[in-house]
Structures are given as structure tokens and as C-alpha cells.
Chains A and B, each alone.
Chain A
Amino acid sequence: METLIILLVGVLTAVAIYLVLSKSLIRVILGTAIFSHAVHLLILSMGGLKKGTVPLLGEEAPSYVDALPQALILTAIVISFAVTAFILVLAFRAYQELGTDDLEEMRGVNDE
């Protein structure tokens, strides 16, 4: 199971890298979102994938899952949510101001 998830992480990362390296700003943003999904899956599988109940006192279960990766992922999701939201707004403003969403045209050498 872990192997399968790791392969999935690899595929997602490859997709994300392809998108981030493209010229269109909106694709770059989608790429960063997929990046964060990939790494969240990686963290989850690093904690070990197994069947079990929540690690709470009073749950008399034969096995428990590791709660820490889940807590880490939740925090990471919140952060990536905030960052993605910010960069979306930024991209929109930049598009309004600069009149382009092509990163090639944003290199900006001439006007300085």
C-alpha cells in the first residue's frame, strides 16, 4: 500500500513540476496546489498506513493509527490554503496591473 501511495506522490509531483515550469501564471498556481497535495500524501504514508482506530484513551482497540502525521497535514493544509489564496489574489492584481499572465513577459529588464 505504501509503495502505491509513494508512486502516486511521484506522479503528482511530476505533474506539479510540469505545471510550475509552464509560462501561464494560472498553471503555475495550480502546480503549487498539486505540489502541496503530493507532500501531504507523502507525510501521511511516512507515518505508516495501517488500519486502526483513533488513538484515544478508552478506545480498546488492537491497533491505533499514528495521529501526528494527521495533525501535521491539517496544519500544512491550512497553510497551503492561505498561501494559495494569497497567490490567487496576487495573480489577479498582477494581471490587472501588468495586463498579462505570461511569465515570459514578466521578466522585467527594460524598465529599470
Chain B
Amino acid sequence: MMNNIVLLPMLLPILVGVVLIFLRAYGRVQAWFSIGVMAVSAGIAFYLLEQVQTNGILRLDFGGWEPPFGILFVADSFSLLLVLTTAIVATIILLYAMFSAGKFLQTTYFYPTILFLIAGVNGSFLTGDLFNLFVCFEVMLLSSYVLLTLGGNKRQLREAIKYVVINIVSSWFFLVALAYLYGAVGTLNMAHVSVRVAEAGQGPLLTTVSIIFLIVFSLKAGLLLYFWLPGSYSAPPAVTSALFGALLTKVGIYALFRVFSLIFYHQPEITHTIIGAMAALTLVGGSLGAIAFNDIRKIAAYNVVIAVGFILVGLAVSTPNAVEGAIYYLIHDMVIKALLFLLVGTIISLTGTAMLDKMSGLMKNYPLLGWSFFITMLSLAGVPPLSGFIGKVLVSEGAVESGSYGLLTLALLSSLFVLYSLLRIFKNSFWGETIVSKEDQVPLKKTLLIPCLLLVLLTVGLGLGTELISGYVTDAAETLLNPDIYIDAVMGGGES
């Protein structure tokens, strides 16, 4: 039985995206097609997730070339959870896009590019080959370059140049790392590399190669090397920054987890210590950034940075609890960052400014928006019934188990900074004197609020219904911590 269905989360968006190029003039049709295909991928991802629980890890060998000779897609619980979350979040973001994007965006290949971006993201989650990972990264990045420039105002173009050049340099590092790895072990299939590295022992040479990989993925994830992130995430329209904030850094985080749990796990006292130090610095830098700025888009962007640091604490500690917590938090963060950016975008479209000191008293006019923001804030800070809680608790437990009290302190302090930075937005923009008179107030379209409310429901649902996904998350963490499960599924026999 071939598992061609494993490919569909990447293939469907590409095919539909290409068809949409021919429907350029029909913005609404494009939107509904995109929403449809994302909903279908969500269904497929869920079906696959169930399959993995009963039959173990699924794989698809392209063109029938068996590993390690061909390239392949591998679907385990960790990948599929992320694919599923991506599909759900993307559906909701597309719904928001349909109502918010202007006529110009709707008809300039906006939806095809989003679909290509999602295809790249899903491909990166599912691939079982390091070079294929590079290719999927590039598909994703090229789409993100286009999305960042669509609309083409001065600020976007300026930020896009920096973003593109930085990503070219990091792709260069990626290729260098691949070249060295190929020179050292003679294969690029992840499972095969893992076997070869385990056989040869992870000597200084391979550890150095692993650190080049660390640099590459840190640049993509915004782990310590996040200097490019706030600028480029705050320049484009709300929909684009929501997609970026929800998906792009998560791919880098996924790659870090995959590479450092499957391949380079033999020298944790070097690699994982470095990751820990980088995560700590990221938490500090992100926290400072989040409280320093007056521009609410920048505050939201620095919140992305803090979350990256927090999730990587889980990888640095690498106890079962911490990894499980990191996965919970990863899923939570995809949902909540999309929500945060959409809300920030809505606030900006209502007030016409991104500056905190120029807005006030929105609560009176838009109570529903205000309370949505309030729930988002609590969820980001990790208040119990919401989705951020379980991740924070498990990561902290892991940190305690391994005695990393420094990381634990920073991680918990960062939550306070998250709360403070968002409380500043809440207090300045929603509380206070209503400065806009009844006549001048911009009516809030219900259609913009619905996607936000859906995401609020999702974060509440994830918090209350943690037990529903706990089985999958436990399985994902187990696969991450026991590379043999993954290797057996890929290398073991011809029949999958």
C-alpha cells in the first residue's frame, strides 16, 4: 500500500495555487478556492494523524526509489500535528484576508502566493531528506519575499531588501552545511544520516557541522539571530504578518527540533548547551524589545521572538516533559500569534495609526474586539484555562527536572514581560478616554471579527480540550526522543 496521500498537504496547495493564477480577475472565487483547499488539507492531516496512531509512521518514496537512494516524505505525529495546525490557522487567516484585503491585493496573485507559501511550509514539515528540506524552505521563502513586497509601499520594499539578502545568506549557510555533511557522511537522507552519525560517533567535525545547521535554522527561527524579524514582520499588511508570525519561524523551530533530536543528539553538552544559551539571550532580547517600542506591530513582532526563545528552552532541556511542553506550546503559538497579528491589524485599520500614544478608549466602541484582545493577552501569558498554560507548565517542569534553574527563571520572567507589553497595548488603546466621537468612528465590519473570534475559540478550546490532543502530543514527543522509531520506519524494509 503506497501512502501517496502523505504528499497531498503539499501537492494540493500548489495545484490549486497554479489554477488560481488563471483566475486572476476573480478575487472572491480565488478566496473560496483557497479556503476550500486549506480545509481539505486539514481533513487530510487529521486522517493521517489517526493513521499514524494505528499503523505507525507513514512514508512516501518519490518515484518508487527506496531510501536512502530517493527523496521521500515521512509523516510522524510531530509533523502531522504541525501540518494540521497550519491548515486550520491558514483557513482562518484566509477568511480574514477575503474580507480585509483590498481590490488590488485580491487580484495580484495574493492567494496563489499564500498557497505556495503553505505548500513550502507543509513540505518542510513532511520531508525526510535534508536537501529536500532546503528546497521546501526556498519555496516558502520565495513566496514570503513576494508576499512581503505585494502592495509595494516604500516601507515594504525597504524591509524586503534586507529580508531577502539576509535569507540568501542563511540559505548559503544551509548549502555549506549540506556540503560538509555530505562530504562527511555521504548521504542526506535524515534517517540514514542519523545512522551514519551514530556509527561514526559525533566527533568534533560533525559537531561543527551541526553548529552550522544551528546557525541556519536559528536565522530562520529567529533564535538569537532575530535582528531582521521585527522590521520585516511589521511592514506588510495584517494578513501577511499573521501568516509570517504564525508559520515562518515555526518551520525553523521544527527544523531545529528535527535535526537536534534525530541526527545530532550525541553531544548535548555542547549543542544543547549552546541552544540553551541562545534561547536565554533570545528571551532577554525579546522581552526588552517588547516593552521598548511604541509601535504595536513591533510589540507583536517581539512577542514572536519571546515565544521562539521559550519553545527552544524545551529543546535545550530535552527531558520528556519539556519536549512535550514545547510541542504543546508550538501548536498554541501558531494559533495565538495569528490571532495577535490579526487583532493588531484590525486595531490599526480602525484607528489609522500603529502608535500606542495616539489611540485610546476603543473599548467603548468595540467591546467584542477588546475582550478578544484581553483573552489573547491572558492566553499568551499562560493563564490556566487557556492554551498557553499546559505548554508553560510542562516546559517549566522539564527545566526543574534537569536543574536548569537559570533558564526556568528567564522563561517565567519572560511571561511577565509578555503580559506587561500586551497590557500596555490594552490599557492605552482600549481603556481611557474615547477620543473618537460617535460620528467619526469607523464601523467594525463583523466579517473581520469572525475570524478573530474563531481563533479565540480555538485557543480556549485547546486549553480546555488539552486531553483531546494529549495522545498525539505524547506520541510526537516519544518519536522525537527515540530516534530509532523514526529510523526504523524509514530504513526498515521495503514495505511501509
Contact = CB atoms under 8 A, between A and B. Distances in A.
Asked whether the complex places CB atoms of A and B closer than 8 A, the reply is yes
Interface string A77-99: 00100110011001101100110
Interface stretch (B162-170, B461-469, B474-482): B162-170
B149 interface: yes
Contacts of A97: 152-154, 157
B493 interface: no
Given A90-B157, A93-B152, A106-B161, A79 B169 contact: no
Interface in A10-27: 20, 25
Contact of B161 (A36, A43, A76, A91): A91
B178 A86 contact: no
Contact of B160 (A79, A90, A103, A111): A90
Contacts of A83: 138, 142, 145, 164, 168, 171
Contact of A86 (B134, B142, B182): B142
A32 to B, nearest CB: 5
Interface string B121-152: 00000000001001100100010011001001
Given A75-B135, A97-B152, A82 B164 contact: no
Contacts of B160: 90, 94
Interface residues of A, dominant DSSP: helix
A40 B171 CA distance: 12
B291 to A, nearest CB: 18
Given A43-B178, A93-B149, A93-B157, A35 B169 contact: yes
B371 interface: no
Contacts of A36: 172, 175
B164 A39 contact: no
A28 B171 CA distance: 15
Contacts of A35: 168-169, 172
B180 interface: yes
Contact of A25 (B142, B149, B161): B161
A72 interface: yes
B295 interface: yes
A94 B182 contact: no
Contacts of A79: 135, 138, 171
Interface in B145-202: 145-146, 149, 152-155, 157-162, 164-165, 168-169, 171-172, 175-176, 178-180, 182-183, 188
A85 B482 CA distance: 43
A36 to B, nearest CB: 7
A66 B165 CA distance: 32
A108 interface: yes
A75 B175 CA distance: 11
Q: Contact residue range for chain B? A: 20 to 34
B168 A90 contact: no
Given A39-B176, A75-B131, A98-B154, A86 B161 contact: no
A60 interface: no
A98 B157 contact: yes
Nearest to A83: B168
A71 to B, nearest CB: 9
Nearest to A86: B145
Interface string A37-55: 0011011001100000000
A39 B161 contact: no
Contacts of B175: 36, 39-40, 42-43, 76
A68 interface: yes
A39 B179 contact: yes
B164 A87 contact: yes
Max chain A C-beta neighbours (<10 A), residue from B153, B161, B188 = B161
A10 to B, nearest CB: 12
Contacts of A90: 145, 149, 157, 160-161, 164
A98 B158 contact: yes
A35 B167 CA distance: 12
A32 B154 contact: no
B165 A87 contact: yes
Contact of B179 (A43, A93, A98, A106): A43
B168 A94 contact: no
Contacts of B134: 76
Contacts of B180: 46
Nearest to A89: B149
The 9 closest A-B pairs by CB, nearest first: A46-B183, A39-B175, A43-B179, A94-B157, A46-B179, A32-B168, A42-B179, A79-B138, A35-B172
Given A79-B138, A83-B171, A86-B145, 15 more contacts: A20-B169, A36-B172, A75-B135, A83-B142, A83-B168, A87-B161, A87-B164, A90-B157, A90-B160, A90-B161, A94-B157, A94-B160, A97-B153, A108-B155, A111-B154
12 contacts: A32-B168, A35-B168, A36-B172, A72-B188, A83-B142, A83-B164, A87-B161, A87-B164, A87-B168, A97-B154, A97-B157, A108-B158
